[in-house]
Structure 1
């Protein structure tokens, strides 16, 4: 699952939303918190905020978007702007983790100065836990789920000081009570205006990837119809998948390439490949009009993609499909069945061979530490077998292709996901407040100081998991290393980086060959570079 929504973000052209001929309306301020601690550089397109801005932008509201990578001092500029202009509200988008910490920091400072201006939160985490979120004293309203239409309606009501009860998809405070309105209905993406990329400085948002020098984030659908037991899609999007047509995706890509001179598109759909015909039609348009572009990061399922026609695979390769993201999850069949993945481990091998045939890189996501039994001894045996089965599977996949990337995470239970209640019954204790979720990470920033919440996996195993995804698999991925090297401007710096990498890679390959992950001094040194060199 792709975790980006403030609420969800599609795009295309539409004739249903006309630009208002009236004078500019009041301002709306939106803030995109950084997803990582402040010592780590991060930039990207705040797709979620663009999604909730497009209607307001057409209506001539002044939408101001702030983020740590867009301004040097976001809160200072937000306060300065608000003092000089009529501002309807401050909106914050947040996923679980550090975005909560950064979002609350901004909300607190804003509320101190402008106590009467409502602060609205949306995104994956507030949609999962709206009541707990709105209980925070620095938050007034939560927009649940897809906010493309809900947020503009809310802005209209706040501007006119109208009652909010008629707006679906809200949870808010009113006279010491918490009011929850009915869920909003799914948005028809082909009826929506295109995302207003012009509201941000695109040059500050682009970055290099394995398949492009200037890669632009994009989304063409949201939701996923499948039933993975660890996923909260069922809560946020009710397992409903809605998507732009191939024709509108093509129009958007053509416009974005021409306007911003990008050479690649990173697709952030929760499941891009739900409809094979849509994928095929898009590829045919790319071929017909000779649109030269690389595209990757597109998320899909192993079984479904393996059933695509050879013609579709050929089209995908011909039109620049460079990388597919997929949740393999585990090499243990019992684990796959427990999370209702609806596939078997052999299908992962078949899929890998298929991608190797068409020279398309795979970004695999695995997890470990599922709550198997209330009996601690049985759990210990199961988790050990999870590791053994998954590492054995990855060995087989590496023999097929050495160009793929593997990520490995400790399973974290999210409220609303089917596996959450099972985890709680096994002793998992979920945070009781919004603040408590701010350090909730699948892969810790510092594996040697991480907080372990699951009782069925040991701290040593959790550290090993982080070591595998960040260090072992990271350094074995030559594409990623080349990409990091490009970020170093100094010739001496490049030489030191490459020399150190070659030495470290020898250690990494030996660790992997013998499956020896004890005494991780080399990994500790890597984490210090990870923290202070600001390359990753």
Structure 2
């Protein structure tokens, strides 16, 4: 949005630009302003460090935007290392903010901007969402694409993959998610022609062969999906891809014939927001689906040779022992349907600006009141007042031992030098683990303890993460 202005734009990604402090030092004197975008999570640690570094070298203003500023506007604006915040959709407010700074005009009348006057916080009205299709197309030349290839480790060996966002928003209103607070259940998509142009450029310039559509609900609109899939087939790009889907909506919207078109267009994996194996929890979070649908979609996609990755959460503030056990039971049943099933399990963590947050507060949960407390909060292993057991260790065993070894061909994931040894272990353990999963009996994890001692491997090593991932952060 600000590319047409006569200013130099420098993009810094703290994951890639490890020497970003040097970049700040080299540009401190000519800085118009420093912008920070941060999520509500551990990312705020780096964002705070960056802001303090800029403050130590320059008198230029610092403006925060993104999810954190939108969810916690007052919390971050009161910090002395932040001068302004941008709330909600930031493209237009940031453009106006930049133009006002260049003209040395006040920014007090810009919608979506927060500022301070004599330590008093002022937060302006946030404008309605603008369809992103009206914004200028992204200039990928400003981004080091090569540095981002396979960055998240999401693709199979031999592919060059990249994350890409084709749509924004979600029409659902799940009670654990604050997307509805940001987008108001609206859903926007880029023009198919723009997506294809971007993918062709990625293919020709960077030899990209795999794309992970990181959209929150990629399959929400059938017309958009089928148009994109037909063009992908006709263009003969030969790019494989994956995306997120809502289980019930996907089953309702797409026929077998249409799923086959999706597969033919290059779809290799669909990530399913299964969330829970406890119907009471699914109703609580307003997921608008049934446990049986989480199993039905595994059968459906397996039939079309589309790989599946479950995203689930456990330990909600109703009966954590019950939903923990039932969700593991769901995953076990799904694994028996498709042994190649991948799984992410997160411990449920309350998020402000969601329907479920107030219930969590009633159950004794207290969210941090300051950014310093938040840094500590995200750095520690999460626990909640309603926890009844040590769920972390149980999940470690289930996700990083029992599920991988429930696949008789898991040994193929190991390097050649250790494959024979793991093959023998795999064959010995497989019947026992299969019985455990069928019975959903995970107590007394003797095999997991022995495996850890004999092989001498920690459960969070990369070879296990390539199969399934346990995360305690949301």
Normalised by the size of structure 1, how large is the TM-score? Answer: 0.77
Number of equivalenced pairs: 453
For the residues of structure 1 that align with 2:367 and 2:245, how far apart are their CA atoms? 30
Counterparts in 2 of 1:151 and 1:125: CA distance versus 1, 3 Å: same
Structure 2 counterpart SS, 1:66: coil
The question of whether the paired residues in 2 share the 8 Å contact of 1:223 and 1:239 is answered with yes
Does the 8 Å CA contact 1:410/1:465 hold for their aligned counterparts? no
CA distance 1:481–1:124, change in 2 (3 Å)? farther
Aligned mates of 2:410, 2:137 — CA distance in 1: 32
Q: How far apart are 1:507 and its partner, in Å?
A: 8.8
Q: Distance in 2 between matches of 1:146 and 1:179?
A: 18
Contact 1:221 1:242 in 2 (8 A): yes
Question: Structure 1 CA distance, aligned partners of 2:121 and 2:345?
Answer: 39
Look up the match of 2:102: 159
Correspondence 1:232-243 to 2 at 5 A: 232-243=178-189
Give 1:70 deviation, angstroms. 2.8
1:320 to 266, 271, 291: 266
Alignment of 1:268-287 (within 5 A): 268-287=214-233
CA distances 1:192-213 after superposition (whole Å, capped 9, x unpaired): 2222221122211101533562
Q: CA deviation at 1:480?
A: 10
Contact map agreement 1:283 1:319 (CA 8 A) in 2:
yes
Q: Shift of the alpha carbon at 1:414? A: 0.6
- How is 1:309-348 mapped onto 2 (pairs within 5 angstroms)? 309-348=255-294
2:245 pairs, out of 258, 283, 300, with: 300
Question: Offset of 1:475 from its aligned partner?
Answer: 6.7
Candidates 390, 394, 402, aligned match of 2:339 = 402
What is aligned with 2:312?
A: 366
Q: Is the 8 A contact 2:132 2:190 kept in 1?
A: yes
Partner of 1:450: 381
Structure 2 equivalent of residue 461 of structure 1: 391
- Displacement of 1:252: 2.3
Q: C-alpha offsets along residues 306-360 of structure 1, whole Å, 9 cap, x if unaligned?
A: 1212332111100110111121011111111011111101111111111101111
The 1-side partners of 2:198 and 2:10 are apart by 23
In the other structure, the counterpart of 2:36 is 92
The superposition leaves residues 132-171 of structure 1 with CA deviations (integer Å, 9 ceiling, x where unpaired) of 1212221122212222222222222222222223222222
Corresponding residue of 1:196: 139
What corresponds to 1:383 in structure 2?
A: 320
Please tell me whether residue 112 in structure 1 is matched to residue 43 in structure 2.
no
**Could you tell me how far apart the structure 2 residues matched to 1:228 and 1:156 are?**
38
Aligned equivalents of 1:410, 1:75: Cα separation in 2 = 35
- Which whole-Å CA distance do the structure 1 matches of 2:360 and 2:283 have between them? 16
Q: 1:78 to 1:362 in 2, by over 3 A?
A: same
TM-score (norm 2): 0.87
Query: Structure 2: how far apart are the matches of 1:225 and 1:466?
Result: 34
Closer, same or farther in 2 for the Cα pair 1:144/1:472, shift >3 Å? farther
Runs (5+) with no aligned partner, structure 1: 1-54, 373-381, 486-493
Query: In structure 2, do the counterparts of structure 1 residues 312 and 467 end up closer, same or farther at CA, with 3 Å as the change threshold?
Result: same
Cα distance 1:67–1:430, how it changes in 2: closer, same or farther (>3 A)? same
Stretch of structure 1 that moved more, 394-403 or 406-415: 394-403
**Is the CA contact 1:328–1:365 (under 8 Å) kept in the aligned structure 2?**
yes
Name the SS for the 2:109 alignment partner. Answer: coil
What is the alpha-carbon distance in structure 2 between the residues aligned to residue 468 and residue 140 of structure 1?
46
CA distance in 2, matches of 1:504, 1:435: 46
2:270–2:307 Cα contact (<8 Å) kept: yes
Contact in 2 for aligned 1:154/1:167 (Cα 8 Å):
yes
1:349 is aligned to 295
Q: Distance between the aligned counterparts of 2:405 and 2:64, measured in 1?
A: 37
SS at match of 1:152: helix
RMSD: 3.0
- Structure 2 segments unaligned to the other structure (5+ residues): 470-474
- Using the alignment, how far apart are the partners of 1:276 and 1:69 within structure 2? 35
